[in-house]
Structure 1
Amino acid sequence: MVFESHIGVVAFPFGTHAAPLLDVVQRIAASAPGTLFSFFNTADSNRKLFNTCANIRIHEVWDGTPRDQVFTGSHFEALGLFLKACPHNLEKAIGEAEEDTGLTICSLISDAFLWFSCDLAEKRGVPWVALWTSASCSLSAHMYTHEILQALESGVAERDEHDKIQPLIPGLEMATFRDLPPEVFLDKNPSPLAVTINKAVEKLPRSHAVILNSFEEIDPIIAKDLKSKFRHFLNIGPSILPSPIADDKSGCLSWLGKQTRPKSVVYISFSTVATPPEKELVALAEALEACQFPFLWSLKEQARESLPDGFLERTTSFGKIVSWAPQLQVLAHDSVGVFVSHCGWNSIIESISSGVPMICRPFFGDQKLNSRMIQDSWKIGLRIEGGVFSKSGAMEALNRIMTGDEGKIIRENVNVLKEKATTAVEPQGSSSKNFQKLLQIICI
């Protein structure tokens, strides 16, 4: 096939960042069959993705680890090596893609964390579009880093759970300084990721557009404020990442189908890079056993060794533990009544789209701020008491959502948000209009 134009796409190959970017590109590619999209990502990250679009070509870039050696370092060491290899590894890969196709790149789309994409685009004189893979609330927090640090340095506020950051940041009236992503406090957290995010925030106003897998109606005040800070601030979601399963090998869906009451199952799943410590796993398991709610728990094999002795045998009549669950299909099942989660943005948007309330146990990054929004701004779930699982705290949260009047209100709230999300992606919805604007910006 002969392509008319060529768009470069640069992924951040850590956590769950690459998949949402590929999803956006697949949506764009479907609207532009005459355009070739070159997706640049590390080999390890590419292996976890799948692509069915004929006009998307997957390219591998060097991840910075020693060549011809098996890397045995930590996640954060791998991140540091990748960032050290950038942007030279990307420039090399882009040059090779242009030479192979005979087409120069006319637009560059990247993960917002890859701030040097701004320089690559400006050097080539092409538009740069940045995908922020988290919620608008976290982007807003980072955009106000200077004001936050100034307030703390001047003594106007303290970094604790009592001082709220309003009126510093519009739309975050319920959040406290302790809820903020730790990367905001660069002086306290000079990690490679923190440095990367802060550099990205400096570059983002130079982008042609910042896009999010979200919808304006979830945070209209934040959306209005961020529109004043960028040339284009475009919520183009929610777009739900497909979960490609040929069959129900884990048995999750067949097990859910055997449940006799709707909204009765507790679904538990944390991120691929975070698992609660042993003490918390024990506490959560004891709470599940005491409450006797049917539960489906996606838990790594290794972590199961931390469960109480005999727990699996004692709960086999009402519980199921699997190594992996088709999360989108699980959340969409009528039997599921609550989602116990780490509060990553992909999981939140899936939960909202399925109308499922949440119980929040955040770990790092934007997750604590997300959990604050879930409980106190959107009112679609509860934060676990004290921020960590205890038997009593987990039991209280489960009972409040699954059996109490408060749970009914929370369920109504999440269904209202679900309706707003559905409306946003209808042909004349806000996200659909923003998507059309995105196509114009990248010259499609």
Structure 2
Amino acid sequence: MGRQPHVLVLPFPGQGHIAPILKLALRIAAHGVKLTFVNTEFIHAKMMASLPEKSEERRLINFVSVPDGLDTEDDRRDLIKLTESVHRTMPAQIRDLIMKIEESNSDERISCVVADTSVGWAHEMAKNFGIEAVAFWTSAGACLALSLHIPLLLEAGVFDNNGTFIIDEPISLSKDLPSWTSSDFESDPEVQKLVFEFCLFVSKYAKFYDRIICNSNYELESVALQLIPNILPIGPLTISSNHSSSFTGILLPQDETCLHWLEKQPPSSVIYVAFGSTATLSLQQAEELALGLELSGQPFLWVVQSDSVARFPEGFVERVANRAKFVEWAPQEKVLAHPSVACFMSHCGWNSTLEGLGVPFLCLPYFADQFYNKKYICDVWKVGLELEEDENGIKTRHEISSKIKLLLSSDVIKANALHMKEACRKSWDEDGDSFSNLKKFIEHVKSL
């Protein structure tokens, strides 16, 4: 029979990292490439519980698992603890897995390792085994370009070793690209240091990448992508998902009742509010957001934990009961495609940004690259508005209500949003850049 191309895919064990790389894995496997997808044991259990027994994923992909080094009761939402444990524990586990595969059957040997940049040591390991190393970048290309420039910026004295700005001047990688300022970085020193160390980590292992796959395209950010060597933009992967499976890589239970609720709402009327799987609003900000949504007079669908709903202002839930829906997790891609949705109040994570293309945005970023994604949304693509803070760092109810009304009345923003969606859809036509790039990559893998 001869040797079959075999790709090993390794995501970072976080919801926002797993979903897009799984979409990529499915596209590769659908073209007859053997594919092994490596999760941590914790994530593996959740994924297997989410997948129907006869699902397409189970047929196309070999799912395996390794320990993440944490105890069962540890909080895996603690990004610092999770990252430290992954880097400490998983390299030896992945090395043993590769050796086991390599020794078991010469026709099954790994042709290529596709690993998240957050586990860059896997790229060095692949090269040591003589295997092609492909990086997968889950955020905007502009943020990758910045990460790759961090050593030069550090040497130039722009940052100190903790990632704090020393020179209070914007960082510009290109005159045609929005610059970074100190306000685009974390104010929390511990988190700021973590983000900075991640950027250094990415740049450290970049020398091992044979190529970088990016969930973006030239329509979205042509300038940034031109700054990155060996980049292969193939996004948005959400648009590319034309396989028969309905599984989107979301590991949390999704409340489908919100789709039935949306059916009862007027077209282009609903404010969809969702801040990802890790955001935590302060009690004061959550109260202002609740009251702002009430003031707007619009129906809204809010993805929020039930314990947070219990802490809303007294009487709020009762007052908005006839025009509000609260769920702990929503099938976001289906929600954003629904004709009743008028706008997306978002934390501006890259996955949510791509999923929301076509819908106007209200931006409330809180972490890492989300601040820069907001600049794309508001300043470059002009498909959304920013919620401004008051002198106490709070987005007030009046700011929220007025921006909702302003956004819903803007035909320009709505037209821009639809234009960006259509441009990205065309990138997946047979002569589009993303379609062509993925096709070239799969042909390359088959030739290894």
For the structure 1 residues 348 and 160, does the alpha-carbon distance in structure 2 shift closer, same or farther, using more than 3 Å as the test? farther
CA positional deviation for 1:180? 4.5
Query: What are the equivalent positions in structure 2 for 1:203-282 lying under 5 Å apart?
Result: 203-226=205-228, 230=229, 232-240=230-238, 244=247, 250-260=256-266, 262-282=267-287
Structure 2 residue 377 is matched with structure 1 residue 371: no
Measured in 1, the distance between the counterparts of 2:222 and 2:290 equals 38
Instruction: Answer yes or no: is 1:41 the counterpart of 2:45.
Output: no
Provide the residue aligned with 2:303 in structure 1.
Answer: 298
Aligned partners of 1:431, 1:205: CA distance in 2, in Å?
24
Q: Quick one: which of 198, 201, 217 aligns to 1:199?
A: 201
The alpha carbon displacement at 1:159 in A equals 4.2
The Cα offsets for residues 382-419 of structure 1, whole Å up to 9 and x where unpaired, read as 1210274211221222111013xxx2211111111111
Q: Name the SS of the counterpart of 1:210 in structure 2.
A: strand
Q: In the TM superposition, what is the alpha-carbon distance from 1:172 to its structure 2 partner? A: 2.5
Distance in 1 (CA, whole Å) between partners of 2:87 and 2:165 is 30
1:424 pairs, out of 414, 424, 427, with 427
Partner of 1:398: 404
Q: Which residue is equivalent to 1:343?
A: 348
Question: How far is 1:99 from its partner?
Answer: 4.3
Q: Secondary structure at the match of 1:306?
A: coil
CA distance in 2, matches of 1:160, 1:391: 35
User: In the TM superposition, what is the alpha-carbon distance from 1:3 to its structure 2 partner?
Assistant: 6.7
Three-state SS of the structure 2 residue aligned to 1:60 is strand
Partner of 2:384: 381
Which residue in 2 is equivalent to 1:82? 86
Distance 2:279 2:261 in 1: 26
Match of 2:293 among 288, 297, 303: 288
Aligned residues: 422
Measure, in 2, the Cα distance between the counterparts of 1:30 and 1:182.
Answer: 44
TM-score (normalised: structure 1): 0.87
Could you say if the C-alpha distance between residues 182 and 390 of structure 1 is closer, same or farther in structure 2, counting changes exceeding 3 Å? closer
Structure 1: state its 5+ residue gaps.
none
Which aligned segments of 4 or more residues in structure 1 are displaced greater than 6 angstroms?
A: none
Tell me whether 247-256 or 376-385 shows the greater mean CA deviation: 247-256
Q: What's the CA shift for 1:287?
A: 0.7
Q: What SS does structure 1 have at the residue aligned with 2:379?
A: helix
**What is the DSSP-based 3-state SS (H/G/I as helix, E as strand, rest coil) of the residue aligned with 2:268?**
coil
Question: Does the CA-based 8 Å contact 1:161-1:178 persist in structure 2?
Answer: no
**Gaps (5+ residues) in structure 2?**
none
Query: Secondary structure of the equivalent of 1:443?
Result: helix
Identity of aligned residues (%): 29
The residue identity in structure 2 corresponding to 1:290 is L
Q: CA deviation at 1:147?
A: 4.1
Pairwise CA distance, 1:310: 1.1
Which digits, 9 at most, give the CA deviation of each residue in 1:72-115, with x for residues without a partner?
57442132112111311111122234445552211111011111
Aligned residue for 2:98?
94
Judge conservation of contact 1:341–1:360 (CA < 8 Å) in 2: yes
TM-score by length of 2: 0.86
Measured after TM superposition, the shift of residue 217 of structure 1 is 1.1
Instruction: Tell me: CA distance 1:101–1:278, structure 2 relative to 1, closer, same or farther (3 Å).
Output: farther
- Cα RMSD (Å): 2.8
> Letter of the aligned partner of 1:217 in structure 2?
E
- d(CA) in 2 for partners of 1:269 and 1:55? 31
Q: Partner amino acid for 1:29? A: A
Q: In structure 2, how many angstroms separate the alpha carbons of the residues matched to 1:210 and 1:78?
A: 24
